[in-house]
Structure 1
Amino acid sequence: MPSVNNYFDNKVTSIAFQTATKPATVGVMEIGEYEFGTSEFETMTVVSGALTVKLPESDDWQTFDAGQSFTIEANQNFGVKVDVETAYLCTYGK
């Protein structure tokens, strides 16, 4: 059964669910800057909008547009800048 989670004063909302093969969340981020941490390997795909991301061990920010994905290893932190409301899909595990 899906569960709803809100973060950063309700500026990030995610709905957790189980895909056919792995756990996932789908959600929306409002305009702002956020710092996320991972507990397991994640693949994040931008569904609509764009995310500008500072990946672990990188000094540079990269922008990922709708249809693009990036991965983060477990137990890492990463920064996200959102300039337009953005929807995403995140799957967990390799």
Structure 2
Amino acid sequence: MINVNEYFGGAVKSLAYTAADGKSTIGVIETGEYEFGTSTPETMTVIEGELIALLPGETEWKSYTNGQSFKVAADASFKVKTTGQSSYLCKYQ
């Protein structure tokens, strides 16, 4: 089944689904800065655009663009910001 998720007043929208290798979401983020939390480890891959992330334990923001990924451990929060609409694939382990 596909579930629709909406966060931050509709500025972040995703579709959640279960693939052969586990749960995933694919989504779009509007221009802005957002903080997310995760209860399971996840890998975010930028499909289109740019996500600038401040990951747990880091002090500097890092840019990720088309095809690049970053990982976040379970029970952590992280920040992302965009300067334009960006899309991503998030795989949960």
Same fold (TM over 0.5): yes
TM-score w.r.t. structure 1 length?
Answer: 0.97
Cα distance, 1:19 vs structure 2: 1.2
Which ranges in structure 2 are unaligned for 5 or more consecutive residues? none
Equivalent runs, 1:1-94 vs 2, <5 Å: 1-93=1-93
SS in 2 for 1:78: strand
- In the TM superposition, what is the alpha-carbon distance from 1:20 to its structure 2 partner? 1.2
Tell me how many residue pairs correspond in the alignment. Answer: 93
Which amino acid letter does the alignment assign opposite residue 52 of structure 1? I
AA partner of residue 48 (structure 1): E
Identity across the alignment (%): 46
Q: Structure 1: state its 5+ residue gaps.
A: none
> SS in structure 2 opposite 1:9?
helix
Mapped partners of 2:23, 2:6: distance in 1: 18
Partner letter of residue 29 of structure 1? I
**Structure with more strand by fraction:** 2
CA RMSD of aligned residues (A): 0.4
Distance 2:11 2:55 in 1: 21
